[in-house]
Amino acid sequence: MGRVVLVTGVGRDFGGRFASRIAKDPVVDRVIGVDVVPSRADLGDVHFVRADIRHPVIGKVIADDKVDTVVHLGVIATTSSAGRRASMREVSVVGSMQLLAACQQAASVERLIVKSSARVYGSSPSDPAKFSEDMSPRRIPSSGLGKASVEVEGYVRGFARRRPDVRVTLLRFANLIGPQVDTMMARYLELPIVPTVLGFDPRLQFCHDEDALDALHHSSLADVPGSFNVAGDHVLTLAQAVRRLGRPHIGVPPLALGTLGSLIPQLRQADLSAEQILFLTYGRGLDTTAMRQNLGFEPKFTTPEAFGDFAARSRPGAMHPERVAELERQLATLIAKGRIYGRR
């Protein structure tokens, strides 16, 4: 008998893509997708159940269908369409708690895969260059989605203690990026002029969304318990990333950046919360040794490659690389001309 997989958060683009993708895998018999809103995309063979994971009905779904693999993607809502910030956290934390409670009751559940975020490491000037999974944050995220992620991971660890027979895999993703990604970070990078924190150029690491789907798919079938960072190799600094998109950037003092973020409507879409400003100040790097050696997963895209893929679909900015190269060619021609005049 094949696997029965329950996927949460299929209403969003990423969750929907994952569900229809794993449904195509021959070892999987049946995929049940759960969310409060139906997916806009066609989910194919996925059996969609419209339910709130905060509601006990989820336990009934797991028991009735004898679900053996739960893939929890509805942990954090990073798209701004998911509603207000406070309600997002509420959905994340309470929803995860209820889902884990339901899983604990269900004897059929054998493995749990949770999509977490590298936000759990926070961002501070005392951070090591790269976080490995066993390191604790120098400053625990005290607000926003980072705090929610920390709380959810706490519940997941509690669940793993109470149900030692369930193999729990926790994936901490770097910021997702790619042609189809529409996160707040992507919106921030695509602003016509990108406000950055004055005097800082943080290191960013990205994970291509295709790689993220691959990693989740791999983990759902591989049975490797543990926590793993998932990210593309190498880093880009914020200035570098913004320049590769051809957008001008201006440094703004951090306090003013927060105010700006709440005043200007366009910036409200781009998440300039206190937590995000810390991230945009100090950045973060991830050690992905365990991802390769223990989880056995190899991403296809490095950070610069993933970002290049995103930049290719992005609307070219005012200073896009081709325009600058053209300017350079024109200047070179001008100089060549000057040389002829000079010799004359």
Residues that bind another protein (CB under 8 A): 125-130, 132, 135, 197-201, 203, 234-237, 239-244, 246, 282-283, 285, 319-321, 324-325, 327-328, 331-332, 334-335, 337-339, 341-342
Residue 108 near residue 68 (C-beta atoms within 8 A): yes
**208 versus 218: smaller Cβ distance to another protein:** 208
Least Å distance between CB 104 and another protein? 36
Q: Name the packing angle between helices 144-162 and 274-282 (round to 10°).
A: 90
Closer by beta carbon to another protein, 37 or else 327:
327
Complex with another protein: residue 226 or 308, whichever CB lies closer? 308
- C-alpha–C-alpha distance, residues 5 and 25, integer Å: 11
- Between 60 and 234, CB nearer to another protein: 234
Alpha-carbon distance of 325 to 64, in angstroms, equals 61
In angstroms, what CA-CA distances link 239 with 16, 60, 276, 279, 325? 33, 49, 16, 14, 18
Spacing of C-alpha 3 from chain mean position = 26
> The tokens of 23 are what?
């449904």
| Alpha-carbon span 6 to 10, nearest angstrom | 10
Q: What gap in Å lies between CA 298 and CA 266, rounded to an integer? A: 36
Q: Closer to another protein by CB, 170 or 242: give it.
A: 242
Pick from 214, 213, 189, 204: nearest CA to 304 = 204
CB of 134 to another protein, least distance (A): 11
User: Of the two residues 125 and 158, which places its CB atom closer to another protein in the complex?
Assistant: 125
